[in-house]
């Protein structure tokens, strides 16, 4: 699952930068709770994140600790060089970002060269990527 937040649509209070953290935490916690039965089938849930953004790190930890047992979670550094799954996650996030860019007609010449037209991108890449979402 990917989560995307556009600055123009997220209720962001410049005086309170934690408002975005609250939104991410809520969305992630709801997702985890919606899929709790599936996640409980595992002895441990590993969470890979590169701690790249402090606000995202805070939201991630808060949501996971709210929705899942601390004993059932393990945090791991998601170095793309070491973990193939983090490379896949990075690719899926890139695909979702491109979908947003195409939707707003903000794709670059490089995007079009790499992914093709909007129609080709949606049919050949986006559709395939979204088939693997946890619904």
What is the rounded distance in angstroms from the CA atom of residue 5 to the CA atom of residue 28? 12
CB–CB of 71/40 below 8 Å? no
User: Could you report the per-residue pLDDT of 41-73, keeping only the tens digit for each?
Assistant: 999 888 888 778 888 888 999 999 999 988 888
Model confidence at 100: pLDDT above 90? yes
Assign 3-state DSSP to the chain and report helix, strand, coil percentages, each to 5. Answer: 60, 10, 35
The pTM score is 0.73
Kindly give the pairing relationship between strand 73-77 and strand 45-49: parallel
User: Could you report the per-residue pLDDT of 72-90, keeping only the tens digit for each?
Assistant: 888 877 776 667 777 888 8
The candidate with the shortest Cα–Cα distance to 59, out of 27, 36, 96, 97, is 27
* Average of per-residue pLDDT values in the chain: 86
Mean pLDDT of 22-49: 91
Please compute Rg for the chain using Cα positions.
Answer: 17
What is the rounded distance in angstroms from the CA atom of residue 21 to the CA atom of residue 8? 16
pLDDT winner (highest mean) among 83-87, 107-111, 131-135: 107-111
pLDDT band at residue 103 under the 50/70/90 scheme: very high
What is the rounded distance in angstroms from the CA atom of residue 129 to the CA atom of residue 105? 20
End-to-end, the C-alpha distance of the chain in Å comes to 8
pLDDT winner (highest mean) among 21-25, 76-80, 94-98: 94-98
């Amino acid at each position: 699952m990917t989560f995307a937040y556009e600055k123009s649509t997220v209720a962001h209070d410049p005086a309170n930068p934690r408002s975005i953290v609250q939104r991410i935490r809520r969305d992630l916690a709801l997702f985890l709770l919606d899929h709790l039965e599936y996640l409980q089938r595992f002895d441990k849930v590993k969470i890979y994140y590169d701690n790249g953004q402090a606000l995202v790190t805070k939201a991630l930890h808060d949501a996971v600790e709210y929705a899942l047992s601390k004993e059932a979670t393990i945090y791991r550094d998601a170095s793309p060089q070491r973990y193939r799954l983090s490379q896949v996650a990075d690719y899926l996030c890139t695909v979702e970002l491109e979908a947003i860019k195409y939707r707003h007609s903000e794709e670059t010449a490089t995007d079009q060269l790499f992914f093709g037209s909007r129609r080709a991108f949606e049919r050949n890449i986006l559709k395939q990527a979204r088939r693997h979402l946890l619904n």
